[in-house]
Amino acid sequence: MATPVSAPTIAAEHSEIPSSLLNVCFVLFVINVSFFPSAFFAHWWILDDKGLGIPIDFVNVWSAGKLVLDGHPALAYDWDIQKQVQIAVLGQSYEGNFAWHYPPPFLFVAALLAHFPYAVAFIGWAAISLVPYLAVMRAIVGRPFGWLLAASFPVVLTNTLVGQNGFLTASLIGGTLYLMPTRPVLAGICLGLLSYKPQYGLLFPLVLIAASQWTVFFTAGVVAAAMAFVSWLAFGTETWQAFFHWLPMFSQAFLTEGRAPWGKMQSIFALVRYFGGTEQLAWVFQWIMNGAVAVLLVLMWRSSRIGYPLKAAALAAGCLLVTPYLFLYDMMVLATALAFLVRIGLSEGFQPYELPALGLVAALLMFYPLVGAPTGFGATLVVSCLIARRCGFRRSDAASSATPIPGLATP
């Protein structure tokens, strides 16, 4: 007669990190860590072999900050003037534009970075913004493996390479979701700070109202309003006017004219355009996606049968699905959704298909440079399917409350 397996034994088995997951994460971590010193000294990153700046995204941040320090913050939104400053910074010209299109509060960050030499600011921004991202991922996963999972995420390389703000966006969304059940004021502060990229906060009001998270809702509103007010005091009315003046032109350039190749954007809108669909057809697909995601999230967050970690993972993935303007570096947000799923897997056990699916997500994100197609959208869909399948297991209150997660209890 077989010896029955006790609940503590099952819990101990589930608490072990699968060797395949650990090994893959370690390999990706080594790749990410070793790439940048090699790239810098080989003159592939920041500076070329002539000592000139390599045209890349971060130059628009530093140049906008330089204009702020020179007393002309509104000119940061002028594409022609921005490019002149960028050419002077890099020491060489380039085709196209690295336009500044962030709301005025983000000029505080740009101005701070512009106090330092360009290369120092570039490396410093990547390193400093990485810290809160690592901390949030560690908190969500709930064990030291969270550090490795965070550092091994494939988009870490992309975001650092171009000097973008994906680490900051992921840390604010992840921080909001992690803190919401137990520290609603801090969660609201994180969400309010996310207003520097308002397209990623579109779903939060709906979800917060559905879940009656009023403290988070009003705190976020106060923080966002305070940021706007302080930036108005610091940079003047003309800066906000410039932001709203240039915003439609930016939308026209990237969502209508396609100045950036459609394969670079990772949304369903870009996927339709990539395969030759018209702008009108792309918007139809995008709005259908937006409506479906919004309805499903509201239903999820109102349900008592679905555990909070799954709700949080779904919202993080949903933030990526509902915006047409989505580049690969912002896929860093997907890491927070994965962190919630990994936490559930480590506490309850992984389903047989989950680890191969996570491998597929990593492959889709890594293969983008090879194919130049919206493979990141496919990665988001895979994660969304994993979340939906997990929700299918939550058929009772007992299942949804099993293995409570400190700091992530169902509200």
Give the length of the chain.
411
Task: Classify residue 211 by its DSSP letter.
Answer: T
Task: Classify residue 275 by its DSSP letter.
Answer: T
Strands (E), 147-275: none
Tokens 């709203």 found at: 244
What's the confidence (pLDDT) of residue 14? 52
Divide the 411 residues of the chain into consecutive groups of 10 and give the mean pLDDT of each group. 39 70 96 91 91 94 97 95 95 91 96 96 97 98 96 96 96 98 97 95 96 97 98 97 91 83 92 94 97 96 93 97 94 98 94 96 92 93 96 54 47 36
Contact 224, 192 (CB under 8 A): yes
CA distance 288 to 118: 43
Q: Which tokens go with 375?
A: 């493979």
Contact 270, 146 (CB under 8 A): no
Q: Which tokens go with 244?
A: 């709203």
Contact 273, 279 (CB under 8 A): yes
Measured between its terminal Cα atoms, the distance across the chain in Å is: 43
What's the confidence (pLDDT) of residue 402? 43
∠ CA 64-68-71, rounded to 5°: 140
Q: How far is CA 113 from the centre of its chain?
A: 21
Provide the 10 A C-beta neighbour count for residue 302: 14
Task: Classify residue 6 by its DSSP letter.
Answer: P
Contact 357, 378 (CB under 8 A): no
Residue 361: name the closest of 342, 341, 379, 388 by CA.
379
Contact 217, 208 (CB under 8 A): yes
Q: Which tokens go with 145?
A: 């493996």
Kindly list the distances between the CA atom of residue 243 and the CA atoms of 69, 248, 301, 353, in Å, as whole numbers in the listed order.
18, 9, 34, 46
- Phi first, then psi: give them for residue 49, nearest 5 degrees: -70, -10
Q: Left (φ > 0), alpha (ψ -120 to 50) or beta: where does 219 sit?
A: alpha
- Phi first, then psi: give them for residue 47, nearest 5 degrees: -125, 140
Name the residue ranges covered by the structural domains of the chain.
Answer: 17-401
Q: How far is CA 49 from the centre of its chain?
A: 32
Determine the residue type at 348.
Answer: E
Kindly list the distances between the CA atom of residue 381 and the CA atoms of 119, 211, 233, 252, 357, in Å, as whole numbers in the listed order.
36, 24, 42, 27, 11
What's the confidence (pLDDT) of residue 82? 94
For residue 86, give every residue at least 6 positions away whose Cβ sits within 8 Å of its Cβ, in sequence order, or none.
55, 59, 60, 63, 98
What's the confidence (pLDDT) of residue 2? 40
